[in-house]
Structure 1
Amino acid sequence: MNDDKSNGRKEDYYELVSHFKTEGQGELWIARHSKTNKEVIVKKLLLGSSQQQQENITRFNREVRTQSRLLHAGIMPILAYNFDDSPPWYAMPKAEHSLADLIKEEGKLSSETTAEIILAVLDAIEYAHNEGIVHRDLKPANILLLPEGSYFGGQWVVADFGLCLDRQSQSTTITKTQTGLGSIAYMAPEQFKDAHRVGATADVYALGQIMYHCLSGEHPFPTRDIMRVPSSFRYLVHKATENDRERRFLSIAELKAELAPIATGEAKYENARKQCETLIGEINAGGGASVGLKLYATILQNASDQQLLLEVLPLFNLTVFESLQQASRDAVERLVSLYDSVTEGAFPFSFVDRIADFFLAAFSTTDSLAAKRQCIEKLLQIGYSHNRFYVRDELMSLFSGLDGETVAIAVDALNRNLDGVAYLRESGGRLVSLPAAIRRVIESA
């Protein structure tokens, strides 16, 4: 295979040794350089049908030309290429393995390993963004480790720029048929709508998904459970993968600035409880959604500290919950689930009332029907198990104001917790003020 790269070495060539694998529009071969005898990977374009052929060639040429001009230790180098051969091909260093291979082998990665890899990728992608290139197809399979002693040995590199968007180019379109472009599990929501009008935040989203995959060992699609991620990374992953791109880190530099202290072991806050109390005070004094987001981040980063949760979450009132809801649509739902898990067992009456106040305020704020049902169930359980009249009276007042689908949720919660229903009957005359469906369940229990 003759090298047609403009480097004055046209006599060099690569001998194909064995087929490695086929992926996407490329066929990968292990090859050997005629002079150095070094093994490399040669990627040959699969031309496809006549209808797809020009599209595939355009993508292939873009991949080669982009990677050839992005000179960075964290971007896979192009060693040689020939567009005139049929099919066209290019050569690149042979990787030791991909990040996808590592996750498959390890199950999940440590915080230290994840931070090291992601920081290397962030450096490379920040450089690409500064050069006007948005990758648009970041995923574990496209992040490769080059072996020691090779080109950029021991370095994690980003490969496969075939779907990149060159913001400096006059052309913004690869294809009319592939509106989304990219790998579904790591694609930002806006990329599904129009891949040609995305920016740096699309790559931020993909890197958040990759972090989740590394730290949890679980594929991030179709759903994620943020509690599977170590607490110090929860805010990063959550903010990077916000559906609304305006709520994500707006640049790779912002994400890197947040990750770097975690990677070096520096504490983000010296006293998380004091930080939470300060933020709650700011919210009650008129602080908006930005303060709510900082509070939510601090809670998520310290979610494994049950004592902190027991001390801080009872301080939440309607104003705090409204700020959290504005900051992140699912914040209240996640905090309801978190607080539910740490308030099992017996507590002093005064603290039971504070637990109840938390769930009453959360119920009034959240849009999630599942969270509303969880709030009702928790109120039933703590009221019944502690025989607390305050909780019973507040719950009856809540029921009195329900209508529509919230009545159905309450009925479902009551039927799931029949032990606690008899305790509600002691309210006597207050039953007449309840919606008929709720009253029937209580009277028949």
Structure 2
Amino acid sequence: MVTYNVIGEIGRGGFGVVEEVETKKGQKFAMKTLVYPNNASDTNKADLRACFEREVKYQGTIDHRHVVPIVAKNLKDDPPWFVMPLAEGSLQKELRDDRTLGGDPKTAIFDLLAGLEEVHRLGYKHRDLSPGNVLRFRDGDGVTYYAISDFGLMSPQAGVTTTLTDTNVAGGTLPYRAPECATSFRRATGLADIYSVGAILHDIFGTGGRIPHAELKANGPIGEVIAKCTKTNPRRRYKNVQELREVLYDVLHSDDLKFESDEDSHYGKLLKDNEKLSDDQWDELFAHIDRQLDSRKSTQSLISAIRTTHVEGLLNSAPDLFHALGMEYSDFASKYSFNFDFCDVIATISQIFYDNGEIDLQANTALAMLELGTSHNRWFVERKFIAMASPDISDELAQRIVTEIAVRDLDIKRSLRNLRNSITVEDDALHPKIDQLGEEA
């Protein structure tokens, strides 16, 4: 059994202490140990221990780059403890030093959203998101990334209303706590986490103090995002992380959408200014796309401006055009290089095409996720492919995917090998018809 020697204390809260520890081999980690309050009764201690154990079990089941993993634990010890990778720091400390994060907060923001989306995908709610729970790491290639930690409030039980975070505020960290967490914490949904993200955005872009549970404001387009995140009525917030990410991407990358011609600029602006297009506008847009393709001109900048609201609107108004746009979108996703944040936007939009498309569109979309995910080493996208090519899909769809692989002469062994080198893929995670193509991968 590995033994850990304590080097020094990193942080201490009401019911937990985090210490830097080292193994005999010189490997350094962070160890979190439950600390009981001096005046705690036996019942309170039992409740706090149960809360701590749930934190370990929930956090330990999530395998995602942007969620802090648990590398060791002993829940039978008194007090119990667990071990995590040692972070370079926290978003909280970074914001205290420079709330602009060097003028480019996008990595921290989109990494946070990626981790939160995985938490929600698995049916959990964090309910205590704050900058102190977002930790900064550096991978083997020297790339900085952020991951969510502190899952003590993920699933509260009766009698446990206190948190193990550094603030010791009932029902979450007060400046970041959604209003509903104060009045009905146990029934708070994932929309409470959306509020917390808005409060973190306010830390970065807002000014002045904050009144807990209030709608927060800031200047400019980012102010509109913060305000919608922090609506006191949860139903008026962004409905999920995907929707929030898209809007944030547009706001924070507003200079990234460069259009290649006057016509591109016209139609790009049309998409940016309108969440939904009329039938006539769609007809004009498709005519322009066809002209670009006929003249062998790229449609990349134009397709980059498409968002979920456009796709959903087209699905309802013109299913035949929905299919045509989906085929063009899968080609776009497979062909070009993107920054990591936009990969997740593409994957979210692609899911709509897969869920509502005919078999050929589903096959093309699934392979687009494989190519996009493995070429960009983006876990979120790669998991989309695994779901789209799982044993649960029909044999007909699996065969169509296999046929598309042959027609395109894709190096599927290489792609599946890259997939397995990137994320954990269970032996039976893919449909047998697809999995057998990757034998020896």
Normalising by structure 2, what TM-score?
0.53
Kept in 2, the 8 Å contact 1:96–1:146? The answer is yes
Question: Of 226, 230, 237, which residue of structure 2 is paired with 1:248?
Answer: 237
Q: Where does residue 428 of structure 1 map in the other structure?
A: none
Say whether 1:208 aligns with 2:198: yes
Name the SS for the 1:28 alignment partner.
strand
Name the SS for the 1:202 alignment partner.
helix
Q: Where does residue 90 of structure 2 map in the other structure?
A: 98
Name the SS for the 2:129 alignment partner.
coil
Q: Aligned letter for 1:44?
A: T
The Cα shift of 1:172 comes to 7.3
Q: Where does residue 143 of structure 1 map in the other structure?
A: 134
Compare CA radii of gyration and give the structure with the larger one.
1
The Cα shift of 1:123 comes to 0.8
Q: Where does residue 409 of structure 1 map in the other structure?
A: none
Say whether 1:233 aligns with 2:222: yes
Q: Where does residue 42 of structure 1 map in the other structure?
A: 31
Quote the sequence identity (%).
25
Unpaired segments ≥5 residues, structure 1 = 1-10, 280-445
Question: Of 66, 78, 85, which residue of structure 1 is paired with 2:77?
Answer: 85
Structure 2: distance between partners of 1:30 and 1:93: 10
Structure 2: distance between partners of 1:217 and 1:161: 29
Structure 2: distance between partners of 1:238 and 1:133: 24
Name the SS for the 2:138 alignment partner.
coil
Structure 1: distance between partners of 2:176 and 2:248: 19
Say whether 1:30 aligns with 2:20: yes
Q: Where does residue 120 of structure 1 map in the other structure?
A: 111
Kept in 1, the 8 Å contact 2:201–2:226? The answer is yes
Name the SS for the 2:5 alignment partner.
strand
Q: Where does residue 278 of structure 2 map in the other structure?
A: none
Structure 2: distance between partners of 1:148 and 1:80: 19
Structure 2: distance between partners of 1:236 and 1:111: 19
Q: Where does residue 71 of structure 1 map in the other structure?
A: 63
Structure 2: distance between partners of 1:69 and 1:122: 18
Structure 2: distance between partners of 1:105 and 1:176: 29
Structure 2: distance between partners of 1:270 and 1:193: 48
Kept in 1, the 8 Å contact 2:47–2:159? The answer is no
The Cα shift of 1:84 comes to 1.3
Q: Aligned letter for 1:106?
A: D
Written as runs of structure 1 = structure 2, the 5 A alignment for 1:30-429 is: 30-34=20-24, 36-48=25-37, 49-109=41-101, 112-113=104-105, 115-149=106-140, 154-165=144-155, 174-175=160-161, 181-216=171-206, 218-222=208-212, 228-229=218-219, 231-266=220-255
Structure 2: distance between partners of 1:121 and 1:177: 20
Unpaired segments ≥5 residues, structure 2 = 258-264, 276-441
Distance 1:131 1:226, change over 3 A: closer
Structure 2: distance between partners of 1:278 and 1:101: 39
Structure 1: distance between partners of 2:82 and 2:233: 38
Structure 2: distance between partners of 1:54 and 1:85: 13
The Cα shift of 1:108 comes to 3.9
Name the SS for the 1:155 alignment partner.
strand
Normalising by structure 1, what TM-score?
0.52
Kept in 2, the 8 Å contact 1:212–1:220? The answer is no
Structure 2: distance between partners of 1:173 and 1:249: 31
The Cα shift of 1:77 comes to 0.8
Name the SS for the 1:213 alignment partner.
helix
Distance 1:18 1:267, change over 3 A: closer
Kept in 1, the 8 Å contact 2:30–2:83? The answer is yes
Deviation string 1:121-178 (CA, Å, 9 cap, x unpaired) is 111111111101100000011111013449x962200010001138xxxx67745999
Kept in 1, the 8 Å contact 2:180–2:188? The answer is yes
Kept in 1, the 8 Å contact 2:55–2:150? The answer is yes
Kept in 2, the 8 Å contact 1:107–1:217? The answer is no
Structure 2: distance between partners of 1:116 and 1:253: 16
Structure 2: distance between partners of 1:52 and 1:237: 37
Distance 1:56 1:153, change over 3 A: farther
Distance 1:176 1:264, change over 3 A: closer
Distance 1:220 1:120, change over 3 A: farther
Q: Aligned letter for 1:83?
A: L
The Cα shift of 1:219 comes to 5.0
Kept in 2, the 8 Å contact 1:16–1:32? The answer is yes
Distance 1:67 1:223, change over 3 A: closer
Kept in 2, the 8 Å contact 1:137–1:183? The answer is yes
**Aligned positions, number:** 262
RMSD: 3.5
